[in-house]
Chains A and B, each alone.
Chain A
Amino acid sequence: MIGALAVLLAFQLVGEIAIRWSGVPVPGPVIGMLLLFLTLHWRKSLPAPLRTTAETLLSHLSLLFIPAGVGIVRYGALLAEEWLAVTVALVLSTLITVAVTALVMQTVIRWRRGAPHDG
């Protein structure tokens, strides 16, 4: 488990270095995810401890957002200024985005399934 944690941290570290070096506008951990994926794909195997550690960590992913979320406490005044516009925009925009993304993806899947020469 410690070995697997070290692997995850090492990939995050490489990701952080890579974005500082290249200036790509993406967080280091996202690059780390990409590099770990490429490594697994190239090795064509997933060590069992890495799988267990990753799945344990991800099963509690929502916990990890709580500290940042509590940061809202500092911005009550900012949100209060235009609370109506902000609240309605956030709720509607988020729901519309979920619906539109799902419907477009679903439509393309069906359209390809229906096409005569499905690749």
Chain B
Amino acid sequence: MDRIFIDIWVYLAASPLLWLTLTLAVYLAGQWLFRRSGGRAIFNPVALAIALLVLLLLLTGTPYSTYFTGAQFIHFLLGPATVALAVPLYLHWERVRQLALPILAGLLVGSLTAILSAIGIAELLGGSPRTLLSLAPKSVTTPVAMGIAEKIGGLPSLTAVLVILTGVIGAVAAPALLDWLRIRDNAVKGLAIGVAAHGIGTARALQISSLAGAFAGLAIGLNALLTALLVPLIVRLLHLMP
């Protein structure tokens, strides 16, 4: 009898089907829990799903590459989903056009704040130069952040992890923080979440409203461009380059 279970597990553990199904199941469970808890920030579905899947991989000794052969089908959809952000942007274009000046002001100050505060706080707490350089582009979308880290002598693979953590922190904490600051305008909420927490934040902004999602999506693109320009400049000015 045990033999059969072992055979089944050997098949499942290496098959894309198991990890693809588990990713969807864990996400749905996270969403269910999030709704049951009345939308409590601490039950963020992405954070829960990542934590649970990491635990499963560690417990079963499954390498990430095996997990990813299944999960890549979901990962691939990030590309078309990013393109799809053009739709809320198109639907809310009139509002974006009216707010062009406030958007640019928020973006410029926000982008600088994201870079300088990350470097500054890590420096104060004794972070190594390599860590500071890997942290600098943490608020932009993963491929751009990795490209910037590589260019300035950070560690792209570390940056990728920091970017994801930043997104999760933003998605969990930003809505409550914005309420506490008495920000009621969904356009402002969306831009702030998008500038600080890229795509994972945008996913959360889309749950607030389609308008917030449109502004967050716009912020991902603009902040990617701006950060790619600003980080190498700041790093040179602060003499951080190794």
B207 to A: closest C-beta gap in Å = 8
Q: How many A-B residue pairs have CB under 8 A?
A: 314
| Docked CA distance A50–B144 (Å) | 27
CA distance A69 to B44 in the complex (A): 13
Chain A nearest CB: distance from B204 CB in Å?
7
With beta carbons under 8 angstroms apart, the residue of B90, B99, B131 that contacts A82 is B131
Alpha-carbon distance between A96 and B102 when the two chains are bound, in angstroms: 18
Query: Contacts of B165 on A, CB cut-off 8 Å?
Result: 72, 90
- By DSSP majority rule, is chain A's interface helix, strand, loop, or mixed? helix
Contact between chains at A93 and B121 (CB < 8 Å): yes
B interface bracket (residues with beta carbon within 8 Å of A): 35 or more
| Chain A residue with Cβ nearest B205 | A61
Complex alpha-carbon distance, A100 and B209, angstroms: 21
24 interchain pairs, CB-CB under 8 A: A8-B84, A36-B86, A46-B87, A46-B90, A54-B86, A55-B210, A62-B200, A63-B49, A66-B53, A66-B74, A67-B74, A68-B78, A82-B131, A91-B169, A95-B169, A97-B113, A97-B139, A97-B196, A98-B195, A98-B196, A101-B109, A102-B189, A104-B102, A105-B105
Q: Which residues of B contact A (CB under 8 A)?
A: 23-24, 26-27, 45-46, 49-50, 53-54, 57-58, 64, 67-68, 71-72, 74-75, 77-91, 93, 99, 101-103, 105-107, 109-110, 113-114, 117-118, 121-122, 125-128, 131, 135, 138-139, 141-144, 147-148, 155, 157-158, 160-162, 164-171, 173-174, 177-178, 181, 183, 185, 187-189, 191-193, 195-197, 199-200, 202-204, 206, 210, 213, 217, 220-221, 224-225, 228
